[in-house]
Amino acid sequence: MQFLLEIRVRPNSSRNKVGGSVGEPPRLVVAVQAPAVDGKANQAVIKELASAFNLRARDFTIVYGELGRDKRLLVDGDKKTLQAKLEELMGEPKLL
């Protein structure tokens, strides 16, 4: 099944990290060391999300915000597993 995941990207960070939330509605924060140039940050974001959710990179598709910090991604995976991991990463449930 596919699910919508809303994130906020922080490019040029000192380290790669997935966790925390920001904004209203809450968005998962994904910090990456890659710069927001030529899609490098987007590639790094997908790699970090795949690692954090224990999925493959091809299970994530950016459907909104490819050029911005706020993004929506479609995620292929099991709803219960994704919800549990998202709650762990954000500290609260927010799977749309």
Please write the tens of the pLDDT for every residue from 32-86. Answer: 999 999 999 999 999 999 999 999 999 999 999 999 999 999 999 998 999 999 9
Beta strands in 1-96 (DSSP E): 2-10, 17-22, 27-31, 60-64, 70-76
Angle at CA of residue 43, ends 37 and 46, nearest 5°: 140
Higher pLDDT, 52 or 95: 52
pLDDT at 62: 97
Give the pLDDT confidence score for residue 53 in this predicted structure: 96
**Confidence class for position 24, pLDDT limits 50, 70, 90:** confident
CATH architecture for the domain at 2-90 = 2-Layer Sandwich (3.30)
Separation between Cα atoms, residue 8 and residue 30, nearest integer Å: 6
**Is the pLDDT confidence value at 94 over 70?**
no
d(CA 32, CA 41): 7
pLDDT of residue 92: 56
Asked if residue 95 has pLDDT above 60, the reply is no
Helices (H) then strands (E): counts for the chain: 2, 5
Q: Which of 29, 5, 83 is nearest to 92 (CA)?
A: 83
pLDDT attached to residue 11: 97
